[in-house]
């Protein structure tokens, strides 16, 4: 136990004393601590168990008690993240690297906020860190309540409390998840489409009145005459959807009455007074009969419209309404009270003044005309007249020949209508029918062989009439000699006389019959 033993003894003595051990550790300190730990730099035992690296976490938590509480409660980053919860603190937060060293060591770009108590969703995901984490404050101390950040933007001015998330979503303020059905006023019908501000002006939601008239009082067409409970008659879908059952009254609404506005009959002064239900009570001004037929309109008229008449003219009178008469208005015929003035049932009694024939065909219009229209299905048989309709005459309209409505002044001769179309200019007389038939001018039956002295044979057969019968000639006096037409064709210049037929045939000049 010489010098070596003495040294060992002294070392053991120093180690046995805590003060001496702390002094020795100062001698081996690797460097200055961060500014946050500066005040405990001289007390190594605050952060380190003497020469025992495995027992530092408990010492860290002893100072950082809020972090320790998070780990114990399983909340916050250190309580939720498995690595942060189980590892030694120095794994992420090493020290002794100088006063200015960032011991937190947070990588803002890579940090996953899912491991915290406030997951970034919706519009929060795009927010910059300093928007919530104020400089100089610890990250864990950032507030998580909605109003902590958005109080200045609260349009409700705190009336709805601080839990904005109970109605709004992180995506946008306008995406509200508030369920109005859970309130005392579920939104049904047209209310579901109304903007919140329509009922909640200035974003005031508390103590909003629920009565219909509180919102719709100004639009009450009844002017308060029927009270304030609009829902007794009206549905929430639309004002026009009325729940009031008029069929339960003494006047069920049928036909046109069912589509009428209430105010047309029920004026504001009619609330307590019993409304009269007689036809003339409402329709006296509409009575085209001026009271002549009595006050009970329904005896003749239905409720669908005035035009729907239950009066049966076919059975109740001697003049059944057929054809165009069915479409006539009553006062077209009944100009006066029908109970006092008895109408005649003849055509001329109504249509005499509009008779285009001016009475020359008599008064029995029905002998020719039907009851649909004057022009439709005229039954006049033209074959019984002096001019039966044949050929193209059948399709000709009446006015093509009958220039006036008198009808009897139309002539029956061909030239009475076709004089302007006479290609013969009157040369063949006025009796076109001698040659032509009614089927068309091109269909003619004139026989040149039997009705003239010159039968058309050979080359003459296909000639046009005008080739021989030129303008200015008289057809009855036309010469029949060959030379009268063919003088210009005579290559013999008259040396063989005028009787061409002695040598030539009628087919053509080249066929020559030479007699020797």
Element (H, E) at 371: none
* Residue at 478 is within a domain: yes
**Residues 51, 90: one domain?**
yes
* Residue at 491 is within a domain: yes
Residue 269 has a pLDDT of 64
**Residues 38, 137: one domain?**
yes
Domain boundary among 141, 169, 188: 141
Domain boundary among 310, 344, 378: 344
204 or 123: whose pLDDT is higher? 123
**Residues 64, 3: one domain?**
no
173, pLDDT greater than 80: yes
**Residues 87, 128: one domain?**
yes
Burial label for 218, CB within 10 Å (0-12, 13-18, 19+), is exposed
pLDDT in tens, 417-431: 999 888 888 878 888
Residue 206 has a pLDDT of 78
The 3-class secondary structure across 423-491, one letter per residue, is CCCCCCCCCHHHCEECCEEEEECCCHHHHCCCCCCHHHCCCCHHHHCCCCCCHHHCCCCHHHHHHHHCC
* Residue at 335 is within a domain: yes
Residue 14 has a pLDDT of 47
**Residues 131, 95: one domain?**
yes
Average pLDDT of every residue of the chain: 84
What is the DSSP track for 111-176? --GGGSSS---GGGGGS-GGGTS-TTS-GGG---SHHHHHGGG-TTTTTT-S-GGGTB-SS-TT-B
**Residues 97, 17: one domain?**
no
153, pLDDT greater than 70: yes
Confidence of residue 97 (pLDDT cuts 50, 70, 90): very high
**Residues 502, 459: one domain?**
yes
Confidence of residue 7 (pLDDT cuts 50, 70, 90): very low
Confidence of residue 22 (pLDDT cuts 50, 70, 90): low
* Residue at 433 is within a domain: no
393, pLDDT greater than 90: yes
**Residues 13, 63: one domain?**
no
* Residue at 148 is within a domain: no
* Residue at 464 is within a domain: yes
Residue 7, domain extent: 1-25
Residue 452 has a pLDDT of 85
Confidence of residue 70 (pLDDT cuts 50, 70, 90): very high
Mean pLDDT of 8-33: 60
* Residue at 184 is within a domain: no
Mean pLDDT of 381-409: 86
φ, ψ at 405 (rounded to 5°): -75, 0
Residue 1 has a pLDDT of 46
Mean pLDDT of 370-374: 86
Listed range (160-164, 329-333, 512-516) with the worst mean pLDDT: 512-516
* Residue at 500 is within a domain: yes
**Residues 13, 44: one domain?**
no
Beta bridge partners of 436: 444
φ, ψ at 116 (rounded to 5°): -105, 180
**Residues 39, 59: one domain?**
yes
**Residues 46, 137: one domain?**
yes
Listed range (3-7, 42-46, 135-139, 252-256) with the worst mean pLDDT: 3-7
* Alpha helices (H) along 327-404: 330-333, 347-351, 398-401
Q: Which residues of 51-66 are buried (b: 16+ CB within 10 A; e: fewer)?
A: eeeeeebeebbeebee
Structure token pair of residue 309: 């008449």
**Residues 4, 104: one domain?**
no
* Alpha helices (H) along 364-409: 398-401
Confidence of residue 501 (pLDDT cuts 50, 70, 90): confident
pLDDT in tens, 428-472: 888 888 888 899 888 888 888 888 888 999 999 988 888 888 777
- The whole-angstrom separation of Cα 270 and Cα 223 is 12
How many domains does the structure of the chain reveal?
4
Domain boundary among 97, 123, 141: 141
Mean pLDDT of 231-244: 85
Instruction: Give whole-number Cα distances, 5 to 2, 9, 21, 119, in Å.
Output: 6, 6, 20, 64
């Amino acid at each position: 136990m010489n010098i070596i033993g003495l040294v060992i003894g002294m070392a053991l003595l120093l180690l046995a004393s805590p003060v001496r051990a702390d002094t020795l550790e100062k001698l081996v300190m690797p460097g200055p601590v961060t500014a946050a730990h500066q005040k405990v730099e001289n007390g190594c035992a605050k952060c380190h168990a003497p020469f025992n690296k495995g027992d530092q976490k408990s010492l860290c938590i002893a100072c950082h008690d809020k972090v320790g509480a998070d780990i114990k409660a399983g909340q916050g980053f250190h309580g939720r993240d498995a690595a942060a919860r189980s590892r030694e603190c120095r794994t992420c937060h090493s020290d002794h690297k100088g006063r200015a060293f960032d011991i937190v060591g947070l990588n803002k770009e890579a940090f996953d906020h899912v491991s915290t108590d406030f997951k970034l969703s919706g519009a929060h995901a795009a927010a910059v860190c300093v928007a919530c984490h104020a400089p100089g404050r610890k990250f864990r101390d950032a507030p998580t309540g909605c109003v902590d950040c958005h109080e200045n933007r609260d349009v409700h001015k705190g009336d709805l409390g601080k839990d904005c998330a109970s109605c709004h979503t992180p995506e946008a303020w306008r995406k509200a998840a508030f369920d109005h059905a859970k309130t005392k006023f579920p939104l049904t019908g047209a209310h579901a489409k109304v903007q919140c501000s329509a009922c909640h002006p200035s974003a005031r939601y508390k103590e909003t009145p629920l009565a219909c008239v509180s919102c719709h009082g100004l639009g009450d067409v009844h002017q308060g005459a029927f009270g304030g409970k609009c829902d007794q008659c009206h549905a929430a879908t639309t004002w026009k959807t009325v729940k009031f059952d008029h069929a339960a009254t003494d006047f069920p609404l049928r036909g046109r009455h069912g589509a009428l506005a209430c105010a047309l009959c029920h004026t504001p002064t009619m609330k307590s007074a019993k409304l009269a239900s007689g036809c003339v009570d409402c329709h006296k001004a509409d009575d085209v009969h001026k009271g002549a037929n009595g006050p009970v309109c329904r005896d003749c008229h239905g409720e669908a419209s005035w035009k729907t008449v239950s009066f049966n003219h076919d059975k109740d009178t001697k003049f059944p309404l057929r054809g165009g008469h069915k479409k006539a208005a009553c006062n077209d015929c009944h100009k006066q009270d029908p109970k006092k003035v008895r109408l005649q049932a003849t055509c001329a009694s109504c249509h005499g003044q509009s008779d285009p024939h001016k009475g020359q065909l008599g008064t029995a219009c029905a002998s020719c005309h039907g009851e649909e229209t004057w022009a439709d299905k005229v039954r006049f048989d033209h074959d019984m007249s002096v001019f039966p309709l044949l050929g193209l005459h059948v399709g000709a309209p009446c006015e093509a020949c009958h220039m006036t409505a008198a009808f009897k002044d139309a002539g029956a001769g061909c030239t009475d209508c076709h004089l302007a179309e006479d290609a013969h200019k009157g040369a063949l007389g006025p009796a076109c029918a001698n040659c032509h038939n009614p089927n068309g001018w091109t269909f003619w039956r004139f026989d040149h062989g039997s009705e003239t002295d010159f039968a058309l044979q050979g080359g003459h057969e296909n000639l046009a009439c005008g080739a021989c019968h030129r303008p200015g000639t008289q057809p009855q006096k036309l010469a029949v000699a060959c030379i009268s037409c063919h003088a210009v064709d005579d290559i013999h210049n008259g040396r063989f006389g005028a009787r061409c037929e002695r040598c030539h045939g009628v087919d053509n000049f080249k066929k020559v019959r030479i007699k020797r």
